[in-house]
Structure 1
Amino acid sequence: MSVNDKEIKLSILDIGTKLQGNDASQTLKDSTERIQLADELGYTRYWFAEHHNTANQVSTAPELMIAHAAAHTKRIRVGAGGIMMPNHSPLKVVENFSLLEALHPNRIDLGIGRATGTDNLTAYALRRSREAVLSYNFPEQFNELLSFFQRNFPAEHPYSKIIPIPNEQDQSLIPNIYMLGSSTGGVEFAINEGLGFAFASHLAPQLAIPVLRAYRNNFKPSTLLSEPKSILTTILITAETDEEAEYLAGPVELFWARLHTGDIYSPFPTLVEASKHRYSANENAARVQNKDRFIIGGIRTVAEKLRNLVKETMVDEVMIMEYYADKEASQNAYRMLAKEFNLRGSNR
């Protein structure tokens, strides 16, 4: 499969990282400015994650972030990456995203996750049921979600009389639906139900190529999607030079090293803190193990890596996880990437 620059689409995943010195309001303001820039530069979509009970992330309600972001942009698709289904009622998810689709036609994406995006205690607080926390009923939730969207419950099903959103055309309020995955589990749902698929390569880099190739080669068309659409999500840090990019990557490398050594509550490091940090033996081992999770380098370096990765994984799109400790560096990186990959709007 050959891929040229015009076919490589770029998008952004925002987990709502709160930088030191910022409160929640400033963090959300920065996200709004970032999506407006992405809209102007020609990025394809901008997704918000769902995480709970974290020390550094404010993106707890993607549907609210989507509503705000879509109202402040013009063209870019906006979505959830994703909605963690164990935390939600399928009907309520359908109601929320049908409303979003009605407000912003043909601009809304729904990424579906099988995990909770949090710890067990918080999952219990969200779901109010110990049994629900300990059980796995995602397939049932998933089927309900799709049936509510398509209004195709069997006539004898008790939910067949429930109307999520009154609308003359039943199919008109369905967002683009993607299955999320970081293993071999999620991809099976995407293949068998004919949905888009987004793979989190930063969580399982060794699986990215085989899983994404399997999705494209085995995809089964559906009424929702006639041909495969795949996204690879990665943590990417870039700048004018390799040296500058390595410096900018210091905070995310330290943050992930701490995560993998059990430190989940430290604030996201600053550039100065990361540059001065002396890694412990355990942190350094984690840092080495984490290298494949990141794409780091000057714009020419990362552009070559991205082109090769797109060819190897056969994806339609690369989604960059927002992990910059400096707002200006983040904006500069997105401008450089837009220019390098000839995104529409990059020359404005």
Structure 2
Amino acid sequence: MSDAIRGTAHGDSPVPLSVLDLVTVGDGWTARQGLATSVEISKLAERRGFHRHWIAEHHSMPGVASSAPAVILAHLAAHTRRIRLGSGGVMLPNHAPLVIAEQFGTLEALAPGRVDLGLGRAPGTDGATAAALRRTRTVGEGADDFPQQLVELTRFLDDDFPDGHPYARIHAVPGPVQGPTGRPPIWLLGSSGFSARLAGMLGLPFAFAHHFSAQNTVPALDLYRDSFRPSEVLDAPYALIGVSALATDDPKEAHRQALTGALSMLRLRTARPGLIPSPEEAEAYAFTPPEREFADRWLANIVRGSADEVRTGLDDLLKRTGADELMITTHAHSGDVRLRSYELIADVYGLPDAVE
């Protein structure tokens, strides 16, 4: 198994710990401040021994400033030296495969040997925005064509279209010829069984979005493992799960901070996207019974509380899923709260400071 895929566990964590970042922006803050927080998170994660820092692609969401993962990853690469950086993920149907190959070939040239290319088949936005991104009204076609797009992207990354192919004379530059480490490893991301099965059949690593599809986690991981065929990339399945977690010094504060994310998601799901509300606004919000039910379901998927409580929740999740890696995403109104949460989680797992 490639070391680029298999993570390294530090401290007394049973598996590698990583970071999933949406570059959230709280009410009263700016996208510039949100991006600055992401830089600080990346530096903290590197110092404490987290394995990866991935950026998710989302569009037309004022509270999520991660619409251009490749640009953000280039910025993070300039502020770090060791941590793996990647997309969690790039939504392949939104982009021409050649463009993604060029972007991630460039990132590999900027940060050799530490770039991951995570790919998803969802739009990462609403239908109208997806149509604007793709310049087509037939939004569903992109997801249906995902396997074909994946093959095309892989060919561009490897620069190995066969003779006679219409793209045989097209080269994604920078590419494997220009870089000492080849190309970034491809991961498939998913929240259902489609990508799980495809990743298994292709022998690729798989990342499951437990943080918003918890009921599907175990079935999807079982499907991935059952479908797995060894490949040049992996000789055995390797699955990470994204999990929402928030640790605070005062356990009661964790619920107060997590409620901001629940209200933000409620507004997004009801076509009212905005900046992440403050804890005060979230506490004062008059939830209707259906809205309260939605918020409670959302909060139930967040591992939160003191550092010890968060560790207990994460360890239990590992036992239930058998995941090979945990990728932690933390949502809060304030960047300081997010940074403190990652520091507390590193402390409770005994992750060393200043990993070399």
- TM score, norm. by length of structure 1: 0.91
SS at match of 2:257: helix
SS at match of 2:168: helix
Distance 1:170 1:192 in 2: 28
SS at match of 2:273: coil
SS at match of 2:45: helix
Question: Within the alignment, does 1:115 sit opposite 2:122 as a pair?
Answer: yes
Structure 2 partner of 1:138: 146
Structure 2 partner of 1:30: 37
Distance 1:163 1:173 in 2: 14
TM superposition shift of 1:263: 4.7
Query: Is the Cα–Cα contact under 8 Å of residues 210 and 313 in structure 1 kept in the other structure?
Result: no
Structure 1 partner of 2:291: 283
Q: For residues 65-93 of structure 1, give each alpha carbon's deviation from its aligned partner in whole angstroms, at most 9, with x where no partner exists.
A: 00000111111111111111111111111
Q: For residues 7-39 of structure 1, give each alpha carbon's deviation from its aligned partner in whole angstroms, at most 9, with x where no partner exists.
A: 321111111211111122122112111211111
Q: Equivalent of 1:68, from 54, 69, 75?
A: 75
Structure 2 partner of 1:47: 54
Distance 1:6 1:237 in 2: 17
Structure 2: segments with no counterpart, 5+ residues: 1-8
Structure 1: segments with no counterpart, 5+ residues: none
Q: Equivalent of 2:24, from 17, 26, 29?
A: 17
Structure 1 partner of 2:350: 342
Q: Kindly tell me: are residues 278 and 88 of structure 1, through their superposed partners in 2, closer, same or farther at Cα, counting changes over 3 Å?
A: same
Distance 2:253 2:30 in 1: 27
Distance 2:125 2:118 in 1: 17
TM superposition shift of 1:199: 0.5
Structure 2 partner of 1:101: 108
Number of residues of Structure 1 aligned to a counterpart in Structure 2: 345
Distance 2:34 2:296 in 1: 30
Q: Equivalent of 2:156, from 148, 151, 174?
A: 148
Q: Which segments of structure 1 move beyond 6 Å, counting only runs of 4 or more?
A: none
SS at match of 1:130: coil
Structure 1 partner of 2:316: 308
Q: Equivalent of 1:216, from 203, 206, 225?
A: 225
Distance 2:252 2:13 in 1: 28
TM superposition shift of 1:167: 4.5
TM superposition shift of 1:217: 4.3
Question: Within the alignment, does 1:329 sit opposite 2:342 as a pair?
Answer: no
Distance 1:24 1:107 in 2: 26
Distance 2:124 2:282 in 1: 26
SS at match of 1:92: helix
SS at match of 1:33: helix
> What is the identity, as a one-letter code, of the residue corresponding to 2:257?
L
Q: Kindly tell me: are residues 102 and 96 of structure 1, through their superposed partners in 2, closer, same or farther at Cα, counting changes over 3 Å?
A: same
Distance 2:137 2:355 in 1: 54
Question: Within the alignment, does 1:243 sit opposite 2:252 as a pair?
Answer: yes
TM superposition shift of 1:169: 7.7
Query: Is the Cα–Cα contact under 8 Å of residues 91 and 145 in structure 1 kept in the other structure?
Result: yes
Q: Equivalent of 1:293, from 301, 304, 329?
A: 301
Distance 1:132 1:156 in 2: 30
Query: Is the Cα–Cα contact under 8 Å of residues 180 and 197 in structure 1 kept in the other structure?
Result: yes
Structure 2 partner of 1:232: 241
- 1:125-204 aligned at under 5 Å gives the runs 125-131=132-138, 134=141, 136-165=144-173, 167-168=176-177, 172-204=181-213
Q: CA RMSD in A?
A: 2.3
Query: Is the Cα–Cα contact under 8 Å of residues 55 and 264 in structure 1 kept in the other structure?
Result: no
134-143 vs 296-305, which moves further: 134-143
- TM score, norm. by length of structure 2: 0.89
Distance 2:176 2:293 in 1: 56
Query: Is the Cα–Cα contact under 8 Å of residues 236 and 321 in structure 1 kept in the other structure?
Result: yes
| Percent of pairs with identical residues | 37
Structure 1 partner of 2:4: none
